[in-house]
């Protein structure tokens, strides 16, 4: 099975409430032609977006349920900027367009995780054994430097990659530092370490989307898939988050999502939706990729270029820059973070990998040759 990352998101709950017409009417009235905030290239992109959305010129950019949900929590003044960056995220990887910065940056607060999910590389002992050097948490100074360099250049940021972000002891200071700096800041967590203080930190920061990773609607299956996890604790923590939000942050605009991996025949996605939808705004699933054994999987003969090479860049806790976290041991490592995100994104090492993918040589690269992402 192959999958496109951007299409692997299935929003089960947003659709019914999506006021598409209303959104389109607002977009039609937006005009940035005389704005000093945008350069000519951005103005051109915005005109293209309006054409696309209002007249369906190429059908390359659509208002998905997720985009509608994100627009609904974004100030109208910020819509043009949000849409320009969303367009870069959606369309550039398809068209293999590179500009100065990645459309999306994932920063890893921690590679350590308290879970051992069956489909995850955290089950690989050669990865988690401390002496092999993969385990650690990002220091606050490195984090702040990355945030300073990303601000104003990249609007889509995730604080998540290989481990559980809440494991980082400086997590609260980290999200405080991001406040007001990005249009779309996301955190992925298994929610097991959420407590009152962390809920307040998240709700008083610039986090726009909070993703809880879970793949089941009952304790037995949950613990089978999310090894070391207890659904009871996760539920209690998400309820705590909701009650703090309701009590102290009523006006806070934040999307909450449960996101699971489609892994087992025992999962019932309708049950999942029913179970979770009273607790979160969205329920979604991603396709399984053989993350946990990618380095020993047989080549799969896929030769299509991987869209992630044009979509996202990862910076790990120790400053390693990698093109994806499927390659969790960093065999594709681009370089060490040097304070210049643009130079890294356009660097020779990155280009070499992209060119191999473009020239039907993906199968010569490990682990790309066993990976399902296109
Ligand atoms: S391993 Fe290769 S093909 Fe898979 S996501 Fe990473 S860069 Fe893309």
95: Cβ contacts below 8 Å, ≥ 6 apart = 60
> Does the C-beta of 306 come closer than 6 Å to ligand 1?
yes
Contact in structure between 252 and 205 (CB atoms under 8 Å):
no
C-alpha span between 198 and 207 (Å, rounded):
12
Per-residue pLDDT of the chain in tens (374 residues, 90 and over written 9): 665 655 444 555 444 545 788 999 999 999 999 999 999 999 999 999 999 999 987 888 999 989 999 999 999 999 999 999 999 999 999 999 999 999 999 999 999 999 999 999 999 999 999 999 999 999 999 999 999 999 999 999 999 999 999 999 999 999 999 999 999 999 999 999 999 999 999 999 999 999 999 999 999 999 999 999 999 999 999 999 999 999 999 999 999 999 999 999 999 888 888 999 899 999 998 889 888 889 999 999 999 999 999 999 999 999 999 999 999 999 999 999 999 999 999 999 999 999 999 999 999 999 999 999 99
Residues facing residue 186 across a β-bridge = 158, 209
- Name the residue at shortest CA distance from atom 1 of ligand 1: 368
Nearest atom in ligand 1 to 371's CA = 4
- Name the residue at shortest CA distance from atom 3 of ligand 1: 368
Report how far ligand 1's centroid is from the alpha carbon of 368 (Å): 5
C-alpha span between 47 and 31 (Å, rounded):
9
DSSP-derived pairing of the beta strands 312-315 and 104-107: parallel
- Name the 3-class secondary structure at 104: strand
State the pTM of this model. Answer: 0.94
C-alpha span between 328 and 320 (Å, rounded):
11
Nearest atom in ligand 1 to 357's CA = 3
Overall size of the chain counted in residues? 374
Phi, psi of 356 (to 5 degrees): -60, -45
C-alpha span between 42 and 80 (Å, rounded):
9
> Does the C-beta of 325 come closer than 6 Å to ligand 1?
no
C-alpha span between 301 and 189 (Å, rounded):
33
From the list 311, 312, 263, the residue with the least C-alpha distance to 285 is 263
């Amino acid at each position: 099975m192959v999958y496109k990352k951007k299409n692997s998101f299935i929003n089960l709950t947003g659709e019914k409430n999506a006021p598409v017409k209303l959104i389109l009417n607002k977009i039609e009235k937006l005009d940035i032609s005389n704005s000093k905030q945008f350069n000519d290239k951005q103005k051109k992109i915005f005109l293209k977006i309006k054409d696309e959305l209002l007249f369906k010129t190429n059908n390359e950019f659509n208002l998905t349920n997720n985009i509608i949900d994100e627009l609904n929590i974004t100030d109208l003044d910020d819509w043009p900027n949000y849409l320009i960056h969303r367009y870069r995220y959606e369309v550039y990887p398809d068209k293999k367009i590179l500009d100065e910065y990645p459309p999306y940056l994932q920063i890893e607060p921690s590679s350590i995780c308290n879970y051992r999910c069956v489909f995850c590389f955290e089950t690989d002992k050669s990865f988690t054994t401390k002496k092999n050097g993969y385990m650690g948490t990002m220091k606050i100074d490195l984090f702040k430097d990355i945030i300073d360099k990303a601000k104003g250049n990249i609007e889509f940021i995730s604080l998540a990659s290989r481990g559980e972000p809440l494991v980082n002891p400086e997590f609260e200071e980290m999200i405080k530092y991001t406040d007001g700096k990005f249009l779309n800041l996301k955190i992925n967590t298994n929610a097991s370490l959420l407590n009152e203080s962390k809920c307040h930190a998240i709700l008083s920061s610039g986090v726009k989307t909070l993703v809880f990773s879970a793949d089941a609607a009952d304790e037995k299956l949950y613990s089978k898939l999310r090894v070391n996890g207890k659904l009871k604790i996760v539920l209690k923590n998400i309820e705590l988050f909701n009650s703090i939000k309701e009590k102290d942050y009523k006006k806070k605009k934040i999307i909450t999502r449960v996101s699971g991996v489609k892994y087992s025949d025992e999962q019932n996605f309708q049950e999942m939706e029913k179970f979770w939808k009273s607790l979160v705004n969205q329920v979604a699933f991603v396709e399984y990729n053989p993350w946990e054994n990618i380095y020993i999987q047989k080549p799969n003969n896929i030769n299509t270029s991987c869209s992630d090479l044009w979509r996202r860049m990862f910076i790990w806790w120790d400053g390693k820059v990698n093109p994806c976290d499927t390659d969790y041991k960093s065999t594709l490592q681009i370089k060490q973070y040097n304070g210049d995100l643009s130079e890294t994104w356009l660097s020779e090492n990155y280009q070499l990998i992209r060119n191999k993918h473009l020239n039907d040589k993906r199968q010569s690269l490990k682990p790309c040759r066993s990976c399902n992402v296109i």
